[in-house]
A and B are shown apart, each in its own frame.
Chain A
Amino acid sequence: MNGVVILAASNYSLYSVMVAEGLLAQGISVDRIVIKKLFNLKRLWSEVKLGPFRFIRKVGNKLIFRKTKNRIRHEYSIGQNFLDGGFKATSLTELCSVAGIPVTYCDDFHSKEVLTDMRSSQPMLVAFTGGGIIRGPVLDVASEGVINCHMGILPAYRGMDCYVWAILNGDTEKIGLTTHFMDSGIDTGPIIERLHLSPERFTSISAVESALEASMPELMIRAISTAFTGKSNKEIQDASKGDQYYVPVASLRELAEYKLSENFRREDEK
């Protein structure tokens, strides 16, 4: 085996489907896909706790309108990339069935059954494509570790909604993505690659979020394929060069929206 095990937040995650299909297209073996079950009380409660409006937005974006909403609203979106890129599967279950990939459904990535399934696949890498925080035992499953694509520029911005915080701090050059190996901290593992996004062309936070999401599959696939060549960059992070951020309240999100539109207006006037 010695391929990749993919951890996915849901069966319908476009990001996970695109990463899996992209890896298969490059001839990289996907040894197993572990999918978190959607309807799990603990999971629902932890999502609601982060904010009810955020939860409703997430359900709408990720489940109900996943392929159409962002495509209509934003030029750069994961839905658009999915349709343009000729991806075939509409769910991970469908992909696993067509490609003959073993699949595990679970409530928790750390359960004994999941760990046993993952270890039996003897993967070289684990690709984390969402589903909460992962800890010790999962981090040790693959010989080369776990790769994540973080929606922020590391080491400056760790944690949640980093693009909003970067706008609030006036750090617009630090809006982007970072692929990194995961360790026991939150977004503190060795950095593989950063991708910076120019905020000047975006007028809303949701457009920035959408553009970031659109770039995640490509960056993740590149990080994994590079790891297979044994030439991954592994830049050790200096934690003192950044902070951990949490979900911003609605008024700060509105302020970020305002700052972004002002930034756009200034650029437009130039």
Chain B
Amino acid sequence: MNIIDLNEKEIGHLLSMFMNGKLEKASVQKLIRFVEFNHQMLEMRIANLWGKGSMMSIYIELILGLEMGLDRDRDIRFANVLLKLSTTKVHKKLLKSGVIKKSHADILNEDLK
């Protein structure tokens, strides 16, 4: 499975598996690699691959999955990508509009203490 070859329905399914902790290790690895390599322009990358219309929902599902994964598995790689994403424009916009209650940096900094 290559993430960039998935269609909109398939990536949605993958992210819901990820959120529920049912995704196998190799696919989690691929998802992290995808976010790590694209984090600076992630929203644009998502829009290019799966369409502008689904960009925000895919982005939100992705960060929710990472947050839940961090909470559940204590995998610090998730913290790393969340912290990287928290510096992006789209993330700041989501924070301002209230879709996300707190910045990842705040949550994680509290958590890491």
* B80-A248 in contact (CB<8A): yes
Which listed residue, B32, B40, B76, B83, touches A49 by the CB 8 Å rule?
A: B40
- CA separation between A239 and B27, bound complex, in Å? 13
In which size bucket is the chain B interface?
A: 10 to 19
Judging by beta carbons under 8 Å apart, are A249 and B80 in contact?
yes
In the bound complex, do residue B33 and residue A244 qualify as a contact, i.e. CB atoms below 8 Å apart?
yes
Closest to A244 in B: B29
Are the C-beta atoms of B29 and A251 separated by less than 8 Å? Answer: no
Is A184 an interface position by the 8 A CB rule? no
Q: B29 and A246: CB pair below 8 A?
A: no
In-complex Cβ contact of A249 among B25, B26, B84 (8 A): B84
Q: Which of the residues B80, B105, B108, B112 comes within 8 Å of A246, measured between beta carbons?
A: B80
Distance A240 CA – B112 CA, assembled complex (angstroms): 27
Quick check: B76 and A252 within 8 Å, CB to CB? yes
The answer to the question of B61 belonging to the interface, with a C-beta cut-off of 8 Å to chain A, is no
B66 contacts partner chain A, Cβ-Cβ < 8 Å: no
Residues of A within 8 A of B33 (CB): 244
Q: CB within 8 Å of B: which of A201-252?
A: 239-240, 243-246, 248-249, 251-252
Partner pick for A252 among B32, B40, B80, CB 8 A cutoff? B80
Are B79 and A252 touching (Cβ within 8 A)? yes
Residues from chain B with Cβ under 8 Å of A168 in the complex = 76
Choose among A169, A245, A251 the residue that contacts B83 (Cβ–Cβ < 8 A). Answer: A251
- A165 to B77 Cα, complex, angstroms: 9
How far, in angstroms, from A252 to B77 measured CA to CA in the complex?
Answer: 10
Measured between beta carbons, the chain B residues less than 8 angstroms from A248 are 80
* Residues on B with beta carbons closer than 8 Å to the beta carbon of A245: 77
B36 contacts A252, CB within 8 Å?
Answer: no
Which of B25, B26, B112 is close to A251, meaning CB atoms less than 8 Å apart? B112
Hey, what's the 0/1 contact readout for B18-36 against A, CB within 8 Å counting as 1? 0000000110010011001
**A249 to chain B: closest residue by CB:** B83
9 A-B contacts, Cβ less than 8 Å apart? Answer: A169-B76, A243-B29, A244-B32, A244-B33, A249-B80, A249-B83, A251-B83, A251-B112, A255-B112
Using A239-B26, A240-B26, A251-B108 as known contacts, list a sample of 10 further A-B pairs with CB atoms less than 8 Å apart, ordered by residue number in A: A165-B76, A244-B32, A244-B33, A245-B77, A246-B80, A249-B80, A251-B105, A252-B79, A252-B80, A252-B83
